Chain A
């Protein structure tokens, strides 16, 4: 009996130790939130809610408003999704529905590798390859066709919302593709077979049976990609131009919240300046946590409990 009791105790100790490790995760999220909140408190008190919609960012006069970065963050992420979603969904559909078996592994592996490229390498590639390419081959035809719209006004110098959006798009494709693929794999084969048996073509089976079944998960995958794009720092910082300005034109420089922290934090000498950047960080954290939480709930509804997308990380 004593040995059994002793064993019981050692089991309890084991369980407690593991629980301790597990509890670190919820504490982490609280610590991050707490750190940002208390560091941002002076700015929160001084500027109030108007921080969100004023555009002055003047370290000399100590007046700060984050509207341009909030706009730039949302605009660059939306542009990225606009480009990335068709690509990523195509990859997922190709891999699950159309690809010959032998091609699946290599293509999936190559797309996963896209997620392994460090952000700063994307940024450098953006500066030296993507921007010259956009300048020579993309912007002139775009201007010729849509130059009259407000989205393509002004001269294209390189660092711009367009460059930031395109680089972000390439970066989020693997995340959206990996999660979408797992969502589509979770669609029961009977759904496809039923549609095909009714005489649907292959594309009709995908469009009318497979995609609707996985819709919540696919939307989750896209929102997850949005979360990534919102918080991405280095690559965007290196190509978006970093200007505190709101312009509808894709060709003009812009700013994002993450880029502002990366650029200005080490030169933020006054307490108010630092606190204002902390408030930007707080906004960014709350925004991405909310977006990710929504995405996860949607994905879990389809592929319950699985660490979906973990292979792309």
Chain B
């Protein structure tokens, strides 16, 4: 092949790679743009403070869904964070052996489990025995989704802590557990918090595992033993429904949900920067 043709191929392929990369980025910009264009006009005070009105009427808001999202996700984090972070500490501190390998592998595999399947687990253990849908069952399902991810990010963050710190603490006569909790975990705290925030951002948008656990609720409730609405469930019902008014609220809800997820993700990045500005 002549040198000219080889350089031409190189140029063409480079251009192709650049064009395809920007197509992928374009998709994101399109989606965000549509969300703002179609949702922003409907986000007003009533949207945040009122509960939905009966189908066919106009007006109303999604206050119940916003509060429900906070309750269900908060409860899921309460269950999932200690387990996930604990498992991650294990992987970082004692994870060299066969069990560590197994746990790491299973965490990675579970990370890709379809969330709808996890919803079935929440249904089987909580909805079926009590024979009513409940927010608690939804939280349990979301917590299960969170755990493997948290374990892996915590492990990664704890491993970034330099060994010299551990050795210094041990040399001063600290026990291993004190070294781990007072020195290592504290040093890695920024990273662990980031992991938790990213995990929360991910489950905040989950819908599938809530379909037959939290179910959705048209009214405002704080009772976790009752069905509860979330923004994601609201979007699903409104977007697939027949009314224009619903579609309008669906776009607005999606904008709010996306904003929530974005704020949490950006907060996560900010926390990491504070601690790891030089490392990452």
Contacts and interface: CB of A to CB of B under 8 A. Distances in A.
Contacts of B109: 29, 289, 292-293, 296
Interface centre among B105, B117, B212, B232 (most CB of A within 10 A): B117
A18 B106 contact: no
A310 B86 contact: no
Given A32-B121, A310-B156, A201 B111 contact: no
Contacts of B117: 32, 36, 231, 261, 281, 284-285
Interface in B260-277: 261-262, 265
B153 A310 contact: yes
A125 B250 CA distance: 10
Interface residues on B, range: 35 or more
A157 interface: no
A88 interface: yes
Given A233-B116, A307-B152, A98 B28 contact: no
Tell me the dominant secondary structure on chain B's binding face: helix
B176 A124 contact: no
A202 B148 CA distance: 39
A120 B14 contact: no
A299 B103 CA distance: 17
Interface in B104-141: 104-118, 120-121, 123-125
B254 interface: yes
A292 B175 contact: no
Interface stretch (B40-48, B55-63, B200-208, B218-226): B200-208
Interface stretch (A48-56, A109-117, A148-156, A187-195): A109-117
Given A10-B177, A19-B90, A231-B116, A90 B24 contact: yes
Contact of B24 (A88, A262, A292): A88
Given A22-B99, A296-B108, A14 B258 contact: no
A203 B14 contact: yes
B212 A87 contact: no
A250 interface: no
Interface in A200-239: 201-204, 206-207, 224, 227-228, 230-234, 238
B279 interface: no
B177 A36 contact: no
A261 B240 CA distance: 17
Nearest to A289: B109
Contacts of B258: 117-118, 121
B168 interface: no
B116 A110 contact: no
A159 B31 CA distance: 19
A58 interface: no
B151 interface: yes
Interface string B230-253: 001001100110000001001100
B205 A18 contact: no
A26 B44 CA distance: 46
Given A94-B18, A234-B208, A110 B25 contact: yes
A313 B268 CA distance: 13
A284 B114 contact: yes
A62 interface: no
B235 A129 contact: no
The 7 closest A-B pairs by CB, nearest first: A118-B205, A231-B114, A21-B86, A14-B177, A90-B20, A201-B10, A203-B10
Interface of B: 6-7, 9-10, 13-14, 16-21, 23-25, 27-31, 34-35, 38, 82-83, 86-87, 89-91, 93-95, 99-100, 102-118, 120-121, 123-125, 144, 147-149, 151-153, 155-156, 175-177, 180, 198, 201-202, 204-208, 211-212, 215, 232, 235-236, 239-240, 247, 250-251, 254, 257-258, 261-262, 265
Given A90-B16, A224-B112, A288-B112, 6 more contacts: A25-B103, A35-B121, A121-B254, A125-B34, A231-B115, A278-B120
